[in-house]
C-alpha cells in the first residue's frame, strides 16, 4: 500500500504558490514528487523551482508552461490547477472587467493548462490532473457571481476531461475545499458575524487549513486513485452535508 502512494521520481506542476497550493505542493514533495511552481509572483520562501507567468495572459501562460515543462525534462506526471482569484461586488454592479479576469484565471487557464499537460500525458500514456473546485461549485455565494460561475465550470470541465481521457491512462479529478484559512478568505475571516456563522455549520468545529488539502491531493496524484475519475471531492469538515 505504501508503494501506491509513493510519488518518487514523478514530476508535478502546481499553479499558484501560496495558501492551498503551498499545502498541496508540500504534500506532493513529501511523497517524493519533484515539484515546480507556476505563478504570477514567486511565493515567499519558495522551496521549489519557480516559473513566473500571469495566467490571465494566454501567451504568458503558454510560455510559462513550456518553461516549467523544460525544468521537468519534458515530462509531466501531475498537474495541480490551484491558482485562482476572487472579486466581490453586488451582482447588479459587478464590473465586466472583473468578470472577464476571474473567468480567465479560474476557468479558461485551467482548461488550457489541462489541454497542454494532457497532450504530453497522452503521449506518455499516463497522467494525473487535479483541479481545485470549491464549495461554490455546489451552491451560490454572496457577491461572487464570477467566482461561482468559474468554480461551477471547473467541476463540469473536470468531468468532461475525465470522460475524454479515462481510457487513455489519464485521471482528471477535482478537490472542493470548504472554508479555509487563506488570504482569499481574508474578507470573511475579518467579518466576525460571517466567520461565526460559517463556523457554526462546520461539523469538524474549525475552518480548514492548507495542510488539510495535502493528503487528498497525494491520493489523487498517486496510483491509489487509478480508478477514480471525474470526481469532485469535498474537503470541508462535512460542511456540505450538514
Using the Cα atoms of residue 12, residue 116, residue 108 and residue 61 in order, give the sign of their dihedral: positive
- Conformation bin of residue 170: beta by default, left when phi > 0, alpha when psi is -120 to 50: beta
Using the Cα atoms of residue 20, residue 44, residue 194 and residue 110 in order, give the sign of their dihedral: negative
CA angle 28, 34, 35 (to 5 degrees): 65
Residue among 142, 138, 140 nearest 175 (CA) = 138
Q: Is the pLDDT of residue 167 over 90?
A: yes
**Homologous superfamily (CATH) for 2-235:** NAD(P)-binding Rossmann-like Domain (3.40.50.720)
* Residue boundaries of the structural domains of the chain: 2-235
**Mean pLDDT along residues 85-95:** 97
CA angle 182, 185, 189 (to 5 degrees): 100
Contact yes or no for 213/24 (Cβ under 8 A): yes
pLDDT digits (tens, 9 = 90+) for 121-132: 999 999 999 999
State residue 155's pLDDT score: 98
Phi, psi of 17, rounded to the nearest 5 degrees: -140, -5
Percent pLDDT > 90 in the chain is: 91
The pLDDT mean for the chain works out to 96
State residue 162's pLDDT score: 98
State residue 223's pLDDT score: 97
State residue 184's pLDDT score: 87
C-alpha to C-alpha distance for 242 and 237, rounded to whole angstroms: 10
Contact yes or no for 128/217 (Cβ under 8 A): no
**Mean pLDDT along residues 73-94:** 98
C-alpha to C-alpha distance for 188 and 196, rounded to whole angstroms: 10
Q: Is the pLDDT of residue 1 over 90?
A: no
C-alpha to C-alpha distance for 50 and 128, rounded to whole angstroms: 20
Spatial CB neighbours of 92, under 8 Å, sequence gap ≥ 6:
none
Which residues are registered as beta bridge partners of 173? 130
C-alpha to C-alpha distance for 178 and 175, rounded to whole angstroms: 10
pLDDT digits (tens, 9 = 90+) for 97-153: 999 999 999 999 999 999 999 999 999 999 999 999 999 999 998 899 999 999 999
Point out the residues that are catalytic: 147
C-alpha to C-alpha distance for 197 and 229, rounded to whole angstroms: 34
pTM given for the model: 0.96
pLDDT digits (tens, 9 = 90+) for 8-41: 999 999 999 999 999 999 999 999 999 999 999 9
Amino acid at each position: 500500500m505504501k508503494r501506491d502512494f509513493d510519488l518518487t521520481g514523478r514530476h508535478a506542476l502546481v499553479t499558484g504558490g501560496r495558501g492551498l497550493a503551498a499545502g498541496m505542493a508540500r504534500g506532493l514533495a513529501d511523497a517524493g514528487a519533484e515539484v515546480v511552481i507556476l505563478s504570477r509572483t514567486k511565493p515567499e520562501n519558495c522551496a521549489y523551482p519557480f516559473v513566473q507567468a500571469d495566467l490571465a495572459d494566454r501567451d504568458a501562460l503558454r510560455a510559462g508552461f513550456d518553461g516549467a515543462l523544460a525544468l521537468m525534462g519534458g515530462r509531466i506526471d501531475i498537474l495541480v490547477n490551484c491558482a485562482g482569484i476572487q472579486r466581490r461586488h453586488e451582482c447588479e454592479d459587478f464590473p465586466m472587467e472583473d468578470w472577464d479576469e476571474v473567468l480567465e484565471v479560474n476557468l479558461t487557464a485551467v482548461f488550457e493548462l489541462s489541454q497542454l499537460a494532457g497532450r504530453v500525458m497522452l503521449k506518455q500514456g499516463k497522467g494525473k490532473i487535479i483541479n481545485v473546485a470549491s464549495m461554490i461549485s455546489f451552491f451560490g455565494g454572496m457577491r461572487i457571481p464570477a467566482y461561482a460561475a468559474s468554480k461551477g465550470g471547473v467541476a463540469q470541465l473536470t468531468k468532461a476531461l475525465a470522460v475524454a481521457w479515462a481510457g487513455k491512462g489519464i485521471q482528471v479529478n477535482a478537490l472542493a475545499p470548504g472554508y479555509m484559512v487563506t488570504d482569499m478568505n481574508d474578507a470573511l475571516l475579518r467579518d466576525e458575524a460571517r466567520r461565526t456563522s460559517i463556523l457554526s455549520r462546520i461539523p469538524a468545529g474549525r475552518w480548514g487549513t492548507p495542510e488539510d488539502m495535502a493528503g487528498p491531493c497525494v491520493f489523487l496524484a498517486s496510483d491509489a486513485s487509478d480508478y477514480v475519475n471525474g470526481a469532485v471531492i469535498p474537503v470541508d469538515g462535512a460542511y456540505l452535508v450538514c
